[in-house]
Chain A
């Protein structure tokens, strides 16, 4: 196994992609992990990158050492088809959390469509892997998505849930559709405690919503708390990556009638600009 840096990793990638699978696997597996990553990252086409990952005997290490957004590019090609679950299972918990922080929120709001797609994809994962991945998704998010699709029909909901008398097949649970049933069943099979937490959250959410409606209050702000925590994680990752613009800044509205651009807000205002600005003000 050679440890040297490849002379032209992109040429190597092209060569591997053109070779018969078995020969390509043998060649790819002869490289070190660093070289394999170099070859993969030299290819910008998501489909080609995915093929290269699968040339490894087990691509877990490669995936976990790749930038999450690069992996997301590959996953986005197959999300919602059930095929993305192969690669999903290779992600580290941290990568999965980053992935959820990126994909479940669009324009600062929870994207229900995306959450639905991801949960479906997750329900196709191996159950052990699913439990391990779902631990990284805030159960309040899943409850928020499912609360109007899962109805526990008993007068003693809390009691039934706490006592563990309900499982996904219980006749007390009515699902709005088959996909919801699959998702809930997958959660239960992966992690019974998570399933109980989910039902508890759904139940709490329903009760709180009903109470607030009675009082004529706005819906509960539970999602705001989830988002706040997510924003903190995103900002911490951005800071570590040297990204100094926050989502808040991107969304910030300005008062167009009271712009103060002449004063400037950059710390690195050039002396030349300052002098010219002074001159302009004098002329005015």
Chain B
């Protein structure tokens, strides 16, 4: 995202330039003459030295040209992120800052930002987990730990730990991921942070559910790549059929739910049922004093779970 006040009209297309912010800054500085050829040489040399240092510090295999290339890209990308952050995405300002500061300074800013993101992702992997506090029965076969993220989301978190990104936009729930790619700009850091915010909110939502029932000893969940969604859907069905907070379901319950709540004509959960469920979760969290953002997030999450439920009830997909 670049803010640009005084760039000549001919450079309007720079807003859509997909080069690194660093490269765009150099191009503008060169074009306007604000960065002298000597300074350009200096910056190139600084970046080369930085890449070299990064390789000697991080490379595990000096014979791997891919790994070496990745470290060079990392030096450029982190410098670019730092420059974008320092100038708040203003190319004109970034030219000034680049003239005034050592290139390493911007690398340090970018590295600090990405390190922060990595630490946050690692913390989510360890902390965004529901844990049973005490074992009620010795032969309890229910899980003792339930992460609030699904398998795709775990991959997302692990990729961040490896300083890579596998998403292009933050979603309530990740149900697909893209090829891992290096983090190269502030917008990507913002996307990753928004997704991490979602996990924090989802943890609050799940922690607000009665844990003794989530971890009930006789509760059996199917093997699923998305246990949090399965728990939420079980709660929805129980609320509709029995008007109680529970997570226990039988195959007959699904059939009954299908009969009562599903409209086969429009292939969707009946509107009034959907409305009641969404209203219920909002009220429930409100009554527990959960912050508004948790309530809003939970409603969105429930919408997503209902959408997925509709797909599961209509496996043919004839919508």
Contact = CB atoms under 8 A, between A and B. Distances in A.
A74 B101 contact: no
Interface residues of B, number: 35
B140 interface: no
Given A46-B63, A73-B62, A252 B108 contact: yes
Contacts of A243: 49, 52-53
A72 B62 contact: yes
Contacts of B102: 265-266
A277 to B, nearest CB: 6
Given A243-B49, A277-B100, A249 B108 contact: yes
Interface string A234-262: 10001000011101011011101001011
Interface in B62-89: 62-64, 85-86
Contacts of B49: 243-245
B97 A261 contact: yes
Nearest to A242: B49
B48 to A, nearest CB: 10
Contact of B61 (A76, A105, A265): A76
Interface in A32-50: 46
Interface string B50-64: 101110111011111
A58 to B, nearest CB: 23
B58 A253 contact: no
Contacts, number: 96
Given A73-B63, A76-B63, A256-B109, A268 B42 contact: yes
B261 interface: no
Interface string B140-155: 0000000000000000
A250 B57 contact: yes
Contact of A106 (B34, B57, B107): B57
Contacts of B34: 272-273
A265 B57 CA distance: 25
B258 to A, nearest CB: 52
Contacts of B56: 69, 102, 234
Contacts of B109: 254, 256, 259
B65 to A, nearest CB: 8
Nearest to A114: B60
Contact of B57 (A77, A108, A259, A280): A108
Contact of B107 (A105, A234, A250): A250
Contact of A245 (B39, B50, B85, B97): B50
Contact of B86 (A73, A102, A259, A266): A259
Contact of B36 (A108, A111, A253, A270): A270
A273 B96 contact: yes
A238 B112 CA distance: 24
B129 interface: no
By DSSP majority rule, is chain B's interface helix, strand, loop, or mixed?
Answer: helix
A76 B62 contact: yes
A238 to B, nearest CB: 8
Contacts of A114: 60
A216 interface: no
Given A269-B100, A270-B39, A74 B63 contact: yes
A250 B53 contact: yes
B41 to A, nearest CB: 12
Contact of A250 (B46, B50, B64): B50
Given A73-B63, A259-B86, A266 B54 contact: no
A276 interface: yes
Interface string A212-250: 000000000000000000000010001000011101011
A277 B96 contact: yes
A111 B61 CA distance: 13
Given A106-B58, A254-B112, A259-B109, A245 B63 contact: no
A79 B133 CA distance: 47
A76 to B, nearest CB: 4
B105 interface: yes
A22 interface: no
Contact of A269 (B50, B61, B85, B99): B99
A74 B111 CA distance: 30
A276 B104 CA distance: 23
A264 interface: yes
A107 interface: yes
Interface of A: 46, 69, 72-74, 76-77, 102, 105-108, 111, 114, 234, 238, 243-245, 247, 249-250, 252-254, 256, 259, 261-266, 268-270, 272-273, 276-277, 280
**What 4 A-B pairs come out closest when comparing CB atoms?**
A264-B100, A76-B63, A273-B99, A77-B63
Interface of B: 34, 36, 39, 42, 46, 49-50, 52-54, 56-58, 60-64, 85-86, 96-97, 99-102, 104-105, 107-109, 111-113, 115
26 contacts: A46-B63, A73-B63, A76-B62, A77-B63, A106-B57, A108-B57, A111-B60, A114-B60, A245-B46, A250-B57, A250-B107, A256-B113, A259-B86, A259-B109, A261-B97, A261-B100, A264-B97, A264-B100, A265-B100, A268-B39, A268-B42, A269-B100, A270-B36, A272-B99, A277-B96, A277-B100
